[in-house]
Homo-oligomer: A and B are copies of this chain.
Amino acid sequence: MIRKEKLEELKSLIEQLKTVEVIKREIEEKDKFLKSEAYYFKLNNGIIIPREKLIKGSSDGSAVIVMPVLETKEVLTVIEPRVFTSLTVGVGFPAGYVESHKNETIKHAAKRELFEETGYATEKPLIDVDSFYQDEGCSSALNHLFIAKNCFKKSYQHLDSDEVVKYMLFNYEELFELENLGYIKGSNSKLLLEKSKKYMEV
């Protein structure tokens, strides 16, 4: 356990650095997916710092990532174009942006993305694994990790016009091999894989 005095010291540093005032500099208005907003932030200690915030479409880009597990214990992975990576294709878990402009909940987003990308669904409640900031320094995107157990094939895929998604089943242990072989290479899938260990019987 962290000593109380140490935690108080940390809290006092945090207090000093807290934002107390936000001044807008520039908001981009244009027909692109990636946009940015520029601000100045006045901290509690009086220092003023400039920061830019990444915007994706009509939201901050908060995403959900779901590890779908079947009754057979196999795990569903998706294979997608990842055009900016060295392989130009990535292996990972079903994922997508929360439709916050439609007031979508994160659990709804997780089930929706799983269904749209793979046609799989579950009747069980999702396991809430963790959440984290995707890019702390210049985004408010808060990503959420889920495990969906007892998944079954319910339908065909329902993909957007610019989505290309293939899928494959692997055993849980094989996922770590795929990671070691360099096929699973994205932060979201890697973090979900690590954090899933305590929920899966290895």
Q: Give A residues with C-beta under 8 Å from B.
A: 1-2, 6, 9-10, 13-14, 16-19, 22, 32-36, 38-39, 41, 43, 45, 47, 49-54, 56, 60, 79-85, 87-92, 130-140, 142-143, 162, 164, 166, 168, 170, 174, 177-178, 183, 185-188, 190-191, 194-195
Contacts and interface: CB of A to CB of B under 8 A. Distances in A.
> For the complex, would chain A's binding face be called helix, strand, loop or mixed by DSSP majority?
mixed
Contacts of A185: 131-133, 136
B136 A88 contact: no
Contacts of A33: 36, 52, 138
Closest 7 CB pairs of A and B: A136-B186, A34-B36, A84-B140, A19-B88, A194-B194, A14-B89, A17-B89
Contacts of A6: 168, 170, 174
Contact of A81 (B19, B135, B183, B190): B19
A133 B39 contact: no
B166 A17 contact: yes
Contacts of A38: 32
A41 B195 contact: no
Contact of A51 (B22, B60, B84, B170): B84
A132 to B, nearest CB: 5
A164 B17 contact: yes
Contacts of A56: 138
A88 B194 contact: no
27 contacts: A2-B170, A6-B170, A10-B168, A13-B166, A14-B89, A14-B91, A17-B79, A18-B81, A19-B81, A32-B36, A33-B52, A34-B34, A34-B52, A34-B53, A39-B83, A41-B83, A41-B88, A45-B164, A47-B164, A54-B54, A56-B138, A82-B136, A131-B185, A132-B186, A133-B185, A134-B134, A190-B191
